[in-house]
Amino acid sequence: MLGCGIDQIYPPEHRSLSEEVAEQGLILSEFPLGTPPDGRNFPQRNRIISGLSLGCLVVEATLESGSLITARCALDQGREVFAIPGSILSETTAGTHQLIRSGAKLVERVEDILEEILPQVRRVQRESAFAPVLEGEEKSFMISWVSSRSTSIS
Residues written for the chain: 154
In a domain? residue 47:
no
Both 126 and 102 in one domain: the answer is: no
> What pLDDT was estimated at residue 47?
93
The pTM of the full predicted model, rounded to 2 decimals, is: 0.73
Instruction: Examine the pLDDT at 131 and tell me if it is beyond 70.
Output: no
Total structural domains in the chain?
3
Interstrand relation of 80-83 and 55-58 (parallel, antiparallel or unpaired): parallel
- Mean pLDDT of the region 83-88: 96
Both 88 and 119 in one domain: the answer is: no
In a domain? residue 45:
no
Domain that holds residue 133: 110-149
| Averaged pLDDT score across all residues of the chain | 87
In a domain? residue 7:
yes
pLDDT in tens, 5-57: 999 999 999 999 999 999 998 999 999 999 999 999 999 999 999 999 999 99
